[in-house]
Structure 1
Amino acid sequence: MGSPSLAYEVLIYLNSFYFGMFACCELGMGLLKAINLSYTGHTLAKDSVILVVVCILETVRIRMGRSGSLAERDWKVILSVFLTIPCFMGVSYILVLQAYKLRLEYLMCTLQLALYLTEIWYAIKFVFSLCRPVTYD
């Protein structure tokens, strides 16, 4: 894509739909695991809290990212880019450290992490494009 700002906005738009499906599936699988599997100690509570926090943070991140434009350098979009880090860490926890993992979770979390990495790539690319000297041809 030509403009990193446009690419980032398109990725945020796509991620808003994918994350809706991701959150519904993760919450459903979490409920299924809570009913059918035996957890020790506070593992179920920890896994559940992390999932709910990721859902809340990602929802806030997407809303802020879609409300502004990277080209405008609005504080909401910049905060949205920085909120990618805790969301990335939360999805990584679900992928790697969660007590019980399903194969569908591996697939969905990997796709979500790929979206995050692509969004971060285009956000960084946009920041570097701002640092280039202006040429008038």
Structure 2
Amino acid sequence: ILFYLNGFYYIFYFLATLLMIIYKSQVYSYPDNYLALDLVLLFIMAILEAIRLYSGTKGNLTEEEVPLGVSLVISIGCIMLSVYFLVWETYILKADVIINAILLCTYGLEGILQIIAIAAFVS
């Protein structure tokens, strides 16, 4: 269920972050090279998130530990990108902090549940 909910939340997260980057580029003096970096990282994160959710859902439904493990490893990259948008992005708004904190909490909860599921599938 958490993969399903996170899929919908990530769509919201992606659109909100994209709109906030556009907003910040219009309101603040956003350096072009940092704007391109933020956009590229956001799209890389979207691709990783799609792979992570697909692999995690597949592993959960088929009760296989390998897809869940792949999803868990990809989660590390997604967490690092989320931390980038939380801490190192050029301009950070309060809305950035809130949506990234929620995303990091869901990653943490999913990671714990994936480890438990992998342990259950192995034994």
Instruction: Report the TM-score range of the alignment, normalised by the length of the smaller protein.
Output: 0.7 to 0.9
Structure possessing the higher relative contact order (Cα contacts under 8 Å, 6 or more residues apart)? 1
Specify the alignment match of 1:78 in structure 2.
Answer: 69
Rg larger for: 1
Q: Is the 8 A contact 2:24 2:30 kept in 1?
A: no
**Quick check: 1:18 aligned with 2:9?**
yes
Specify the alignment match of 2:51 in structure 1.
Answer: 60
Which structure shows the higher helix fraction?
Answer: 2
Matches within 5 A, 1:1-137: 10-40=1-31, 42-69=33-60, 72-73=63-64, 75-130=66-121
Ranges in structure 1 where 5+ consecutive residues have no aligned partner:
1-9, 133-137
Q: Distance in 2 between matches of 1:13 and 1:94?
A: 23
Q: Distance in 2 between matches of 1:90 and 1:104?
A: 17
Q: Distance in 1 between matches of 2:118 and 2:53?
A: 19
Ranges in structure 2 where 5+ consecutive residues have no aligned partner:
none
Instruction: Report Cα offsets for 1:92-122 as digits up to 9, x if no partner.
Output: 1000111101111100000000000001111
Equivalenced residues, count? 123
